[in-house]
Amino acid sequence: MEHPKPTRRETFRALWKEKKAVTIVYIFLRTSVVLVMLAQIFNRNFENVFLCVLTLVLFAMPSLLERKLDIDLPNTLEIIILLFIYAAEILGEIGAYYVTFPYWDTVLHTLNGFLCAAIGFSLLDILNRHNRARFHLSPLYLAIVAFCFSMTVGVVWEFFECTMDQFFFLDMQKDSIVQRIGTIMLDPTGGNHPVVLRNITDVIVVQSDGTQTALGLGGYLDIGLLDTMEDLFVNFIGALLFSIIGYFYVLSRGKGKFVKRFIPVANDHPTSNETNHKADEAES
């Protein structure tokens, strides 16, 4: 006998009962994004309108993944994901926090490394959610998987930023000003010996039509390299931190309450054999 499909009101009540804090944060952030989107439409800033629509779509991803993968996201993790999306897209891009607060991007990349390590840590458990042995692999192996997963996500994201910069000139990999460089391009012999330039105070840009412009930046303009390395380094710190915490979490047989707030878990469903066995026991 099939049970009737729950109504939207019943679904919302169940969600409110199980995840009250997540629901409050979700409604607040979603309302804020809608208001920002209306303001951007009024100002005819359609690029920011697209970012608002993208943010609303990303907000729906955690609950969608829960249903599709049959997993449960801890409330703490889900709230941080929502805040992370809002901080990156609305505050960072539309609110220009990346420019106003120099360390805004660094904090987000560190948090990204931490969260991706948590997802990578639980990935094996999700893929084996029908297996009773939750921690059937060694703690060190799980920690290594979590770390590598997080670093891979970080590298792929830098690939994406570089692609956007090369084809659409979005400057996602922010520039840096340096006062000294070493380059083999200036080797007078044409060899592989780097020439070091120190105390650089200015850069002159010469365009194809011969126009020269002194940038007056106080140094050499580094196009995204140092920003990328900094992003990967803080991602490394976040991933390493969670991998170490996760290692001791598995070593203690999952007794740590802190790590449980960040690790998605598979919903336990009895297999068909288990169901038949229980039915046989009930009949007997």
Q: Where are the alpha helices (DSSP H) in the chain?
A: 8-18, 20-42, 46-69, 75-85, 97-100, 104-127, 139-168, 225-251, 257-260, 272-283
Nearest 5°: the CA angle 43, 82, 139 is: 150
Report DSSP letters for 46-64, one per residue. Answer: HHHHHHHHHHHHHHHHHHH
Phi, psi (rounded to 5 degrees) for 209: -90, 5
Mention every residue, 6+ apart, whose C-beta is less than 8 A from residue 144: 243
Residue 134 vs residue 66, higher pLDDT: 66
In the prediction, which pLDDT does 5 show?
62
Q: Which sign, positive or negative, has the C-alpha torsion 183, 185, 191, 197?
A: negative
**pTM (2 decimals)?**
0.83
* 102 three-state secondary structure: coil
**DSSP-derived secondary structure letter, 199:** S
Residue 80 predicted with pLDDT over 90: yes
Q: Which sign, positive or negative, has the C-alpha torsion 40, 86, 175, 159?
A: negative
Short-list 120, 87, 84, CA closest to 101:
87
Tokens in use for 256?
Answer: 């740590």
The neighbour count for residue 247, using CB atoms within 10 Å, is: 21
Residue 104 predicted with pLDDT over 90: yes
**In percent, how much of the chain has pLDDT > 70?**
83
Can you give 218-241 as a three-state secondary structure string?
A: CCEEECCHHHHHHHHHHHHHHHHH
Banded model confidence at residue 271, pLDDT cuts 50, 70, 90: very low
**Tokens 């997540």 -> residue:** 22
Residue 94 predicted with pLDDT over 80: yes
Phi, psi (rounded to 5 degrees) for 217: -90, -15
β partners of residue 183 = 195
Residue 13 predicted with pLDDT over 80: no
Tokens in use for 3?
Answer: 């049970």
Banded model confidence at residue 284, pLDDT cuts 50, 70, 90: very low
- pLDDT tens digits for range 241-261: 999 998 888 888 667 778 888
- pLDDT tens digits for range 192-250: 999 999 999 998 999 999 899 998 889 988 889 999 999 999 999 999 999 999 888 88
- pLDDT tens digits for range 116-169: 999 988 877 666 555 555 556 788 888 999 999 999 999 999 999 999 999 988
Residue 2 predicted with pLDDT over 60: no
Domain ranges within the chain, ordered by starting residue: 10-167+224-266, 176-222
